[in-house]
Amino acid sequence: MTTMQDVADIAGVSKASVSLVLNGRDAGHVKPQTAELIRQTAAKLGYRPNQLARSLRTSRTHMLGFISEEVATTPYAGGIILGAQDAASAYGYVLLTVSTDGMANEEQELAALMRYGVDGFLYSKMSNRITDVPHSLTDYPLVLVDATDRSKRFPSVEPDEFRIGYDATKRLIDAGCKRIAYVGCSEPLIAQSRRLHGYQAALSDAGMPIDDALHVDVLNNGPALRAVSKLFDEQQPDGFFCFNDARAWYVYECAARRGLTVGRDISVVGVDNHRVFAETLDPQLTTVELPHYEMGYWGACRLISIIEGHDVDTSVWPETPAPLPPLDAPIPATIHCKLIDKKSVRE
Amino acid sequence: MTTMQDVADIAGVSKASVSLVLNGRDAGHVKPQTAELIRQTAAKLGYRPNQLARSLRTSRTHMLGFISEEVATTPYAGGIILGAQDAASAYGYVLLTVSTDGMANEEQELAALMRYGVDGFLYSKMSNRITDVPHSLTDYPLVLVDATDRSKRFPSVEPDEFRIGYDATKRLIDAGCKRIAYVGCSEPLIAQSRRLHGYQAALSDAGMPIDDALHVDVLNNGPALRAVSKLFDEQQPDGFFCFNDARAWYVYECAARRGLTVGRDISVVGVDNHRVFAETLDPQLTTVELPHYEMGYWGACRLISIIEGHDVDTSVWPETPAPLPPLDAPIPATIHCKLIDKKSVRE
DNA sequence: TTGTAGGCGTTATCAA
DNA sequence: TTGATAACGCCTACAA
């Protein structure tokens, strides 16, 4: 491995000069001639700075700790990780991931990351919940992703659930549906109530009545199927907004049993949580994507901005995701996430 | 942050002694008394060794590079990551993850990991394919996970697809099915042909005929649904082994349209790729899990054994996954993965 | 059995 | 403009 000393020796200069030049701090310190020479010999030797040595000296590692609950059990962890990774990579950072799925030893895992000297942490749940941040993290730069800090001390990036409910319902309205049902989730998730509000708001804005009989919350399996069956028979909706695609499946099952075809006799929009419908059906028709990638991306951006001490104007951010690569998602990218921060709480 | 020098000063000894004791190399070198004193003061001060400094000296980082294609697009990446992580953590390693999903700059990402000095790489696809390992990795300890090295130079951990097909079919046979269909995948995946062989072997072993009319390979959407419909009407199978749960969905849809109920009129076993049926239906009945966690786990174990220069008896491994935490998967853990290695190629 | 000193590859301070 | 030189925290001959 070629070191800085090698470059210095061959270029006939000192380590100090090499360091200055290769870090772009040579303005007015090193003669442009020698600087150029140094750059060339470095390139010729294929010199790559040793991050460890640099980190030991600067006590900055450019590593981010990515802590996630539930990577293993939810399909979309990858989206968040990828988003975080892209942002990190763009700024010269790298991700040290740790999953605390089943582990009792969360604290130990965190301690391990700290020994490696990560510059900050991304703390991610896999569905937005009120969260207590582990105490040991509170001394570090920290951003929550798809989770809400109970103490409101740390910024978080969360899905805009209201908009998800609103846009999904709007799409059914635009498709001409007259009796639009909401098949929600019985668990008290943040997403559940906000999507419901979005659903109701969309109906209101379109001048349509809000009928509680068209709204059922279900869990899984048999009881869920029966509840949806009842909804079918008693209310005969022509449009269904489903909390997720697991719930959408019940609608498909009920429709099939009644000889109805989705996309012709009834319309269904479900929030895509499992990808199954993306593969089996025409995705244009039925799914709304959660902004997992975006949350990871913006979470990492925010974290890095904290680490590097930049002052970020969070008021225009991340509503305007300019640096984001274009989304070729099955639906227009109207669903975004939002940043909750001390500087810009909008709720 | 408390350093080794601090511990030495307070214990009234030298750094050297502290280092020896804290690394367990004090046998016959340090008086047990002083060793104990050192351990206590270290504990009292909450001393945590600085990995960076250690790595700089030893040129071993105890970091593993985890490279994955398709984390974002397949639901089960998390399982592999988690398995790798558990194994890594058990041996004092940590995972530096990089996903190359959409990126053209794979080489750059790898270069980044190398600058951080990872000790080796886990190279993972998200479904077993013949793979060319990036050239820059070939100088490192390397293990492939859910992928097969075309050059056969590096070990890999792969699902035992034959067994998956065999066991799934066996379950349908045991459930009393007489006409068992295979709904496969038209793409030329390794899994496809091996599962088919497993399906056929199970039928043979049970003395049942192999009828090609009961075997259809499909892709997605409309055509797939029509092909399965045809299978229903022309062959009237009473059991279905499905390549994955996306394909199982077509069977459910067709059954519902014919007034048939899965679990009563027909039986379905699908390989679980999307989790949707795990949530919507009785998982005992219908799904076979792929050993993602196990592949990650054993891949990391193998990699670490290479890095540390242990000589591993791969002939009993990983068929006997003793160190694995008990699997409380919905089905008995009869489906394992297998290690392909120079020392023990069984095919 | 213990301590001293050198070095891992950087960056940063200060003279020259 | 440059180049010694001293850290950063740890490991490890080697000397005492």
pLDDT in tens, A136-160: 999 999 999 999 899 888 988 888 8
Distance CA B154, CA B132 (A): 11
Please check whether residues A101 and A146 belong to one and the same domain.
yes
Q: What's the confidence (pLDDT) of residue A106?
A: 82
Q: What's the confidence (pLDDT) of residue B105?
A: 75
Predicted confidence (pLDDT) at residue B7 exceeds the cutoff of 80: yes
Q: What's the confidence (pLDDT) of residue A167?
A: 85
Distance CA A37, CA B92 (A): 43
pLDDT classification of B142: cutoffs 50, 70, 90: very high
- Number of Cβ within 10 Å of residue A127's Cβ equals 18
> Domain range spanning residue A282?
161-290
The answer to whether residue B346 sits within a structural domain is: no
Contact A289, A337 (CB under 8 A): no
Q: What's the confidence (pLDDT) of residue B114?
A: 94
| Phi and psi at residue B181, to the nearest 5° | -95, 155
Give the best residue of B2, B47, B51 to mutate against chain A (max A CB count within 10 A).
B51
| Amino acid, res. B335 | I
Q: Does A54 touch chain B (CB under 8 A)?
A: no
Q: Cβ neighbours of residue B313 under 8 Å, at least 6 residues apart?
A: none
Predicted confidence (pLDDT) at residue B97 exceeds the cutoff of 80: yes
- Residue among B323, B344, B336, B321 nearest B158 (CA): B336
Give the best residue of A47, A82, A285 to mutate against chain B (max B CB count within 10 A).
A82
Residue B2 CA, nucleotide C2 C1', distance (Å): 23
Predicted confidence (pLDDT) at residue B140 exceeds the cutoff of 90: yes
Please check whether residues B107 and B153 belong to one and the same domain.
yes
Pairing of strands A239-242, A180-185: parallel
Asked whether the beta carbons of residue B276 and residue A89 sit closer than 8 angstroms, the reply is no
The answer to whether residue B313 sits within a structural domain is: yes
Q: Number of structural domains, chain A?
A: 3
CA distances from A198 to A128, A162, A165, A182, A193 (A): 16, 4, 4, 11, 9
B309 vs B112, higher pLDDT: B112
Please check whether residues B279 and B206 belong to one and the same domain.
yes
Q: Cβ neighbours of residue A152 under 8 Å, at least 6 residues apart?
A: A342
Please check whether residues A283 and A192 belong to one and the same domain.
yes
Please check whether residues B105 and B225 belong to one and the same domain.
no
Give the best residue of B57, B60, B253 to mutate against chain A (max A CB count within 10 A).
B253
Strand D lies under 7 A from the Cβ of residue B58: yes
Strand D lies under 7 A from the Cβ of residue B25: yes
The answer to whether residue A243 sits within a structural domain is: yes
Which residues on adjacent β-strands are paired with residue B337?
B159
End-to-end CA distance of chain B, in Å? 54
CA distances from B296 to A69, A277, B21, B121 (A): 17, 27, 34, 12
pLDDT classification of B316: cutoffs 50, 70, 90: very low
Asked whether the beta carbons of residue A95 and residue B96 sit closer than 8 angstroms, the reply is yes
- Chain A stretch 22-41, residues whose beta carbon is closer than 8 A to a beta carbon of chain B: none
Please check whether residues A245 and A282 belong to one and the same domain.
yes
Residue B58 CA, nucleotide D15 C1', distance (Å): 23
Q: What's the confidence (pLDDT) of residue A63?
A: 97
Contact A177, A203 (CB under 8 A): no
The encoded tokens of residue B37 equal 């004193």
Closest CB to A72: pick one of B74, B82, B99.
B82
The answer to whether residue A345 sits within a structural domain is: no
Q: Does A252 touch chain B (CB under 8 A)?
A: yes
The C-alpha angle with vertex B264 and arms to B259 and B269, in degrees rounded to 5, equals 100
B340 vs A303, higher pLDDT: A303
Please check whether residues B175 and B268 belong to one and the same domain.
yes
The answer to whether residue A321 sits within a structural domain is: yes
Q: Cβ neighbours of residue A81 under 8 Å, at least 6 residues apart?
A: A66, A68, A71, A95, A97, A296, B71, B72, B97, B99
- State the CATH number of the domain containing residue B250: 3.40.50.2300
Please check whether residues B271 and B308 belong to one and the same domain.
no
Q: Cβ neighbours of residue A197 under 8 Å, at least 6 residues apart?
A: A162, A165
The answer to whether residue B342 sits within a structural domain is: no
Residues of A in contact with B278 (CB under 8 A): none
Residue B107 CA, nucleotide D6 C1', distance (Å): 37
The answer to whether residue B340 sits within a structural domain is: no
| Amino acid, res. A314 | T
The encoded tokens of residue B161 equal 């697809």
Please check whether residues B80 and B113 belong to one and the same domain.
yes
As a whole number of Å, the CA-based R_g of chain A is 26
Asked whether the beta carbons of residue B77 and residue A74 sit closer than 8 angstroms, the reply is no
The encoded tokens of residue A282 equal 């025409």
Predicted confidence (pLDDT) at residue B335 exceeds the cutoff of 70: no
Give me the mean pLDDT over the B37-58 stretch.
93
Closest CB to A249: pick one of B51, B257, B280.
B280
Mean pLDDT across chain B: 82
Q: Which nucleotide is nearest to B15 (CA to C1')?
A: C3
Q: Cβ neighbours of residue A142 under 8 Å, at least 6 residues apart?
A: A120, A121, A122, A123, A133, A154, A303
Please check whether residues A211 and A167 belong to one and the same domain.
yes
Distance CA B323, CA A284 (A): 45
pLDDT in tens, B273-312: 655 555 555 444 556 778 888 888 888 888 888 888 765 5
pLDDT classification of B252: cutoffs 50, 70, 90: confident
Closest residue to C5 measured CA to C1′: B16
Longest CA pairwise span in chain B (Å):
87
Please check whether residues B28 and B96 belong to one and the same domain.
no
Please check whether residues B269 and B300 belong to one and the same domain.
no
| Phi and psi at residue B205, to the nearest 5° | -60, -25
Residues of B in contact with A112 (CB under 8 A): 89, 94
A272 vs B315, higher pLDDT: A272
A11 vs B73, higher pLDDT: A11
Q: What is the mean pLDDT of each run of 10 residues along chain A (347 residues)?
A: 92 92 87 92 93 94 91 73 87 89 78 94 87 92 92 87 88 89 92 94 96 93 89 95 86 88 84 62 60 85 83 45 31 45 40
Q: Does B263 touch chain A (CB under 8 A)?
A: no
The answer to whether residue B37 sits within a structural domain is: yes
Q: Mind telling me how many Å the CA of B197 is from chain A's nearest CA? A: 25
CA distances from B230 to A254, A257, B250, B265, B292 (A): 22, 18, 12, 18, 33
The encoded tokens of residue A16 equal 């100090």
Residue B28 CA, nucleotide D15 C1', distance (Å): 18
Q: Cβ neighbours of residue B198 under 8 Å, at least 6 residues apart?
A: B161, B162, B163, B164, B165, B166, B167, B168, B169
Q: What interhelical angle do A190-205 and A161-174 show, nearest 10?
A: 40
Residue A57 CA, nucleotide D7 C1', distance (Å): 8
Contact B153, B131 (CB under 8 A): no
